Structure 1
Amino acid sequence: MNPIKVMIVEDDAKIADLHRRFTEKVEGFEVVAIAQGLDDAKEMIEIFEPDLILLDLYFPEGTSLEMLREIRTKGLETDVILITAAREMGPLKEALRGGVFDYIIKPVILDRFKACLFRFGKYHSRLRNPETLEQKDVDSMRHPSSSASAVTPSEDLPKGIDPLTLKKVQDVFKDPDIENGLGAEDVGSLIGASRSTTRRYLEYLVSVGFIYPDLVYGTVGRPERKYFRN
């Protein structure tokens, strides 16, 4: 099967290169072009016909939301993942209405990024399938969180995600007494796993919509990344 063609649109050369290296860590994806401006990006889309665009939001010439609208208006078979430092609700709403596949907030976490591409890979593969669809197929593509309460079948899991460990992590968040969120260290201590291993499972569950992350600021020290059940 041909690799998924990815185009990166990012005006910061160092960040663009970082996202390129992240993408190349995921099997089945190939970066075919990098554009550092919106005008160049529009030309490259026509030349390279990417399957997926990793799109920054803000550029010196404006936001990329207009380009997103153009992609949809022209009916191009290109999906978009918006990667941005913007935390305002307005751009998020407009991006979602414009049909982005996902919305990743900078700085990008590798595990979250990889899980997102893995999910896109499954979505893209199913769109290529010439067979007829069942309702469950549509639901899994459009509403991944609707099936996230159950453990994903092992054949659908990304490399490094064990179904038994995944179920343990999910079970932690099914506890009705958990309301204030849990950090990776908290979950790790409950299931008997290291913080780094637990973080990998947590970020996978974020990608499928089972939980969501947030930064919790304490009275002293750095903010802590905690996870909450959707």
Structure 2
Amino acid sequence: MIDVLVVEDDFMVARIHRGFVDSVEGFRVVGTANCGEQALTAAAELQPDLMLLDLYLPDMFGLDVVPRLRSAGHDCDVMVISAAREAEAVRGAVRQGVVDYLLKPFDAGDLRDRLERYSARRTNLSAATVSGQADVDRALGRVAAPAVTPALPKGMSVETSELVERALREAGGTLSAAECATEVGISRVSARRYLEHLTVTGKAVVSLRYGQAGRPERRYHWHTR
């Protein structure tokens, strides 16, 4: 569960943002603050993972909260949610290392998309080490070129594809569709469909293991280039 602190000076807007966040699976709002000083106090008390930060606060400019957070030892991530359209505000947010910048007004779907991308980036850095440059790029929110990540066939989801891909990368050898299904928590038929798609796109290689009787077993392994 990712704990979120909402920093917004308008009480009604803060309540709306809270409802948006709580509707996204894996996220929960642990507190709200209506000014910069309250945000710093709440961060110390609640230890959130993510702060949704408005920039137009009554006591300070929102970005001034970030260095004070860091100097106080708080390492929570910051996502700006603001009507501030000045280029300098955006550049300042980038310099402060914010994870995203969402302009008001927006709807629940806009925030959901950004929260889900943020969650995916956190997952990519959950291990002690990264397996390669692709993991670093995903953690930084960089998008691969379309030629590298073709669209999935109808009926296949990006989330499941990423789980299958990760299971294959971390297997340290080969996986059968049945083994992959158990690892990911999907049916064997679905696992095989995703694995076959990875072979078509060149991300995986399939080999055959022959037993004493019956069809040979298809074994998949990650294609290291």
Sort the TM-score into its range (normalised by shorter chain).
Answer: 0.5 to 0.7
Question: Which letter does structure 1 place at the counterpart of 2:138?
Answer: S
What corresponds to 1:84 in structure 2?
Answer: 82
Residues 78 and 98 of structure 2 are in contact (CA less than 8 Å); yes or no, is this contact kept in structure 1? yes
The CA deviation string for residues 179-214 of structure 1, in whole angstroms up to 9 with x for no partner, is xxxxxxxxxxxxxxxxxxxxxxxxxxxxxxxxxxxx
Match of 2:138 among 124, 137, 140: 140
Cα distance, 1:132 vs structure 2: 3.8
Structure-2 separation of matches of 1:92 and 1:105: 10
Change (3 A) 1:148 1:111: farther
Extract unaligned runs of 5+ from structure 1.
159-230
Question: Which letter does structure 2 place at the counterpart of 1:61?
Answer: D
Change (3 A) 1:138 1:75: farther
Structure 2 counterpart SS, 1:121: helix
Structure-2 separation of matches of 1:41 and 1:148: 40
Q: Which structure's CA Rg is the greater one? A: 2
Cα distance, 1:126 vs structure 2: 2.4
Residues 4 and 30 of structure 2 are in contact (CA less than 8 Å); yes or no, is this contact kept in structure 1? yes
The CA deviation string for residues 15-72 of structure 1, in whole angstroms up to 9 with x for no partner, is 1011101001110001001111111111110111100000000111121111112223
Residue identity (%):
33
Residues 72 and 98 of structure 1 are in contact (CA less than 8 Å); yes or no, is this contact kept in structure 2? no
What corresponds to 2:18 in structure 1?
Answer: 20
What corresponds to 2:36 in structure 1?
Answer: 38
The CA deviation string for residues 112-149 of structure 1, in whole angstroms up to 9 with x for no partner, is 11010000111122222234431110011114323456
Structure-1 separation of matches of 2:146 and 2:140: 12
Q: CA RMSD in A?
A: 2.0
Residues 140 and 147 of structure 1 are in contact (CA less than 8 Å); yes or no, is this contact kept in structure 2? no
Residues 6 and 14 of structure 2 are in contact (CA less than 8 Å); yes or no, is this contact kept in structure 1? yes
Counterparts of 1:81-230 in structure 2, within 5 Å, are 81-147=79-145, 150-151=149-150, 154-157=156-159
Higher relative contact order (CA 8 A, sep 6+): 1
